[in-house]
Structure 1
Amino acid sequence: MKQQPVKPPTRRSRAVAAKRSTIMDAALEFFSLYGIHGTSLDQVAERADVSKTNLLYYFPSKEELYVAVLKGILDVWLAPLKALRADQEPLQAIREYIRLKLDVSRHHPQASRLFCLEMIQGAPLLKLELQGGLKALVDEKSAMIERWIAEGHIAAVEPHHLIFMLWATTQHYADFWVQVEAVTGKTLDDEAFFQQTVENVQRVIIDGIRPR
């Protein structure tokens, strides 16, 4: 059966996508500060420069808007993990993963903090997504890491704990930016501090998993 060519997005579909993106960006700002219960749709609508009625056309409820924002965050957050490939040199692949995750923390700090807040609250609106797509991806990458270990490319570590350690370390700089700034006087927005952070996290992790 001949495959039909993919039609390019229409002007209307691009406009709808742009409007949804504007609303979600505004929602992220409030959700990351006040959570779902402390945020009102009136606040989001005002920040997005749309009427509340117009907002509800795109997102029929605050819960649907919240879940859409969280799923968007998850896509950004998981992109570096998806980029890990079996054909890469393992230590270099993990070194690059660290850089990409810290880059996400630098450019999407609000998203990282909202995701952290949702996890602390037990992920009531995202649990199915975590148990589905997230778990499947982590299982896939854990199996890949196990192959690297079996082939002698990295030291014997439990893959899930390695991934958890990578997440915790790289996200710390976004989730606890106030603490980081209080101690160092800097954040990841400072280019020199960002590079220093990347190099030090890479050194600690890579030295720990380098085969002996």
Structure 2
Amino acid sequence: MNETPRPQTRIQRRNTEAILQAALDVFSAQGFRGATLDQIAEVAGLSKPNLLYYFPSKEAIHLELLGGLMDVWLAPLRAMDPAGEPRAEIMAYMRRKLEMSREMPRESRLFANEILQGAPRMMAGIEGDLKTLVDDKAAVIQAWADAGRIAPVDPYHLIFSIWALTQHYADFDVQVRAVLGPDRDPFAEAGSFLDMLFERLLAP
């Protein structure tokens, strides 16, 4: 008979969170292949043997991060309400994705690095939950377009465009800030520009 796992102590919870936050820093900067357990342990302020008490491998830490990330990443798209006003719903989704790029740049780069490697640890989620959700919301957007409530657009490429135009500001942050200079806020400017762009694109 399997025993129920004991709940973690406060110190164990603190160390687990320290490891995950450190791993997020290291993986988002170095990618999975470039990251090492020694780097993660150093950033977390723990010894490598102590880290291995909580996670048996680099792969285990990476999978823990990716598993939580998928739910977070899909939440704004899930929130798109088929009963809502179409342009408002799409614009709210775009705005939330831009906010996530501002608030969660490490998570965005972690996701991007995984995709660039061919999604070896996320393909099941991409082909499963992500595709199912995108198919569902694409059908909603198509129905809005067919009813004349928004301009005729390919719903899949509309979603891809929102991903590209918002996550760019996290994944290419250094380039964006270098081009704009230190006195400009890329996210404030991006919000205004993307509002105008999508309002014009979606106007029936």
| Same fold, TM-score > 0.5, yes or no | yes
Q: Matched residues in 1 for 2:140 and 2:99: separation?
A: 23
Q: Matched residues in 2 for 1:57 and 1:153: separation?
A: 56
Give the structure 2 partner of residue 133 of structure 1: 129
Q: Matched residues in 1 for 2:165 and 2:150: separation?
A: 19
Maintained 8 Å contact 1:28/1:110: yes
Mapping of residues 16-31 of structure 1, within 5 Å: 16-31=12-27
* Deviation readout 1:133-169 (Å, 9 max, x if unpaired): 1111111111111221222211111111110000000
Pick from 151, 164, 169: which aligns with 2:165? 169
Pick from 58, 63, 71: which aligns with 1:62? 58
Gaps in structure 1 of 5+ consecutive residues? 1-9
Q: Matched residues in 1 for 2:135 and 2:90: separation?
A: 16
* Deviation readout 1:73-101 (Å, 9 max, x if unpaired): 32222221121111211101111111111
Q: Matched residues in 2 for 1:187 and 1:21: separation?
A: 34
Q: Matched residues in 1 for 2:175 and 2:19: separation?
A: 30
Give the structure 1 partner of residue 43 of structure 2: 47
Aligned residue for 2:187, secondary structure, equals helix
Question: Structure 1 residues 70 and 90, CA, compared in 2 at 3 Å: closer, same or farther?
Answer: same
Maintained 8 Å contact 1:177/1:187: no
1:27 partner amino acid: A
* In the alignment, structure 1 residue 181 sits paired with structure 2 residue 174: no
Maintained 8 Å contact 2:41/2:51: yes
Question: Structure 1 residues 133 and 15, CA, compared in 2 at 3 Å: closer, same or farther?
Answer: farther
Pick from 98, 103, 107: which aligns with 2:99? 103
* Deviation readout 1:40-60 (Å, 9 max, x if unpaired): 112212222233333223322
* Deviation readout 1:97-134 (Å, 9 max, x if unpaired): 11111110001112111211211111111111111111
Aligned residue for 2:35, secondary structure, equals coil
How many residue pairs get aligned? The number is 199
Gaps in structure 2 of 5+ consecutive residues? 1-5
Maintained 8 Å contact 1:187/1:194: no
Question: Structure 1 residues 157 and 187, CA, compared in 2 at 3 Å: closer, same or farther?
Answer: farther
Give the structure 2 partner of residue 122 of structure 1: 118
Give the structure 2 partner of residue 195 of structure 1: 188
* In the alignment, structure 1 residue 205 sits paired with structure 2 residue 201: no
Percent identity over the alignment? 47
Cα offset for 1:37? Answer: 1.9
Question: Structure 1 residues 161 and 186, CA, compared in 2 at 3 Å: closer, same or farther?
Answer: farther
Aligned residue for 1:137, secondary structure, equals helix
Maintained 8 Å contact 1:98/1:198: no
